[in-house]
Structure 1
Amino acid sequence: MSHRKTRRVGTAAALVVLGAMAGAGAAGASDFTVDFPVGTACNFPLRVDGTGGNRIDRTFTDEAGNLVRILSTGTGFALTFTNLSTGKTLSLPSNGAVTRTTPLAGGLTRNVLTGHNVLFLYPSDVPAGPSTTLFTGRAVFTATPSSDYTLLETHGTSRDLCAELSD
């Protein structure tokens, strides 16, 4: 799996799969482990383990059947982050979150996150990572078809998980 694809999967653990989903229904809550190489999500190799979670995804289309938005609501995964260089861990409980994904021209998506969400930014993103941040409140970003993110705004609190795992 490519690192870009890994990020999308890893981000989905705390957010929502940004691809189109067919119909309304419960998103399957499968436990997962994702390893990020050094310099990707933090300045050290990072493992993210997720368990539980209960999200409902709803797809909205216009009269012509075109995707208008995807709304994902519910409880995210309980997450454990591990600095693979030191073994230090940090755990976050499962919390409520809402993600609204809207398609834009050129294959871009606009993503509005509210509640408790973890966002992984890579060096190719804006602002440039590596960073792994818990946002509590609201965060808005765009994503390209190749998963390059541009963070547009945040409101509320942010928590630098890489810094906490570096101590």
Structure 2
Amino acid sequence: MFGKTVRRLAPFAAIAAILLVAQPASAAASKPPQLQAFSVSLPAGLACPFPLDITGTNGQITQVTFKNGSFFNVGKGVLLTYSNPSNGKSYTVNTAGSVDRFVQNPDGTYTGYLSGHNGYIYFNTDATGPRAIEYTGRLVVTTDSTLSNTLSVDFTSGQSVDVCAALS
């Protein structure tokens, strides 16, 4: 899995990044935005052999941005539910909290040092896909300059759950 191209779907982090990257950079923490409920539906074969629904509720984070472009996201995570609508099974994770540190690299990419809960969708076009993994622990990832795509998962430690297997 290390060094493979993947796309990240970490609902807490992805939504937080969308909300926060658009905010002006400052040396001090901004007011934590309240994350609204969200839902994502992926068709069969993209992440799992069956359709995969992902929903999240609650959560808030604070972003601290530094002048060099690096930043921290710290906060309370979401109640995250993965569901298989084909058989009605679901897997729920209270993501509790997390700390994500993103360091901007000279080429414009970011290296992310993630701790806590992070969900990853390895699409059917990825070397190790399709699959959906919920990680709890530490990850080191490289992302593109927009933070929207993970280019590689470079390191993991802690626990992981194969969501597709859990929902089969």
**Same-fold call, TM cutoff 0.5:** yes
**Distance in structure 2 (CA, Å) of the matches to 1:122 and 1:36:** 10
Aligned to 1:22: 24
Aligned to 2:4: none
**Distance in structure 2 (CA, Å) of the matches to 1:106 and 1:38:** 35
Q: Percent identity among equivalent residues?
A: 33
45, 55, 64: which one pairs with 2:51? Answer: 45
Going from structure 1 to structure 2, the CA distance change for 1:106 and 1:37 (only over 3 Å counts) comes to farther
152, 155, 158: which one pairs with 1:153? Answer: 155
Instruction: Return the offset for 1:128.
Output: 2.6
Answer yes or no: is the 8 Å Cα contact 2:42–2:52 preserved in 1: yes
Answer yes or no: is the 8 Å Cα contact 1:14–1:77 preserved in 2: no
**Distance in structure 2 (CA, Å) of the matches to 1:107 and 1:98:** 21
**Distance in structure 2 (CA, Å) of the matches to 1:11 and 1:94:** 11
- What TM-score do the two structures reach when normalised by structure 2? 0.78
Going from structure 1 to structure 2, the CA distance change for 1:28 and 1:81 (only over 3 Å counts) comes to same
Structure 1 residues 1-167: aligned runs within 5 Å: 10-14=9-13, 16-17=16-17, 20=21, 21-23=23-25, 24-62=30-68, 67=69, 69-125=70-126, 128-145=128-145, 147-166=149-168
Answer yes or no: is the 8 Å Cα contact 1:121–1:149 preserved in 2: no
User: Residues 97-153 of structure 1, C-alpha deviation per residue, up to 9 Å, x if partnerless?
Assistant: 11112222333221111022222222344x532222121110111123462431100
Instruction: Return the offset for 1:22.
Output: 2.4
Gaps of 5+ in 2: 1-6
Instruction: Return the offset for 1:11.
Output: 2.0
- Alignment RMSD (CA, Å): 2.3
Q: Structure with the greater relative contact order (CA < 8 A, sep ≥ 6): 1 or 2?
A: 2
Aligned residues: 153
SS at match of 2:164: helix
SS at match of 1:162: helix
Gaps of 5+ in 1: 1-6
What amino acid does structure 2 have at the position aligned with 1:50?
G
**Distance in structure 1 (CA, Å) of the matches to 2:131 and 2:110:** 21
Displaced runs of 4 or more, over 4 A: none
Aligned to 1:4: none
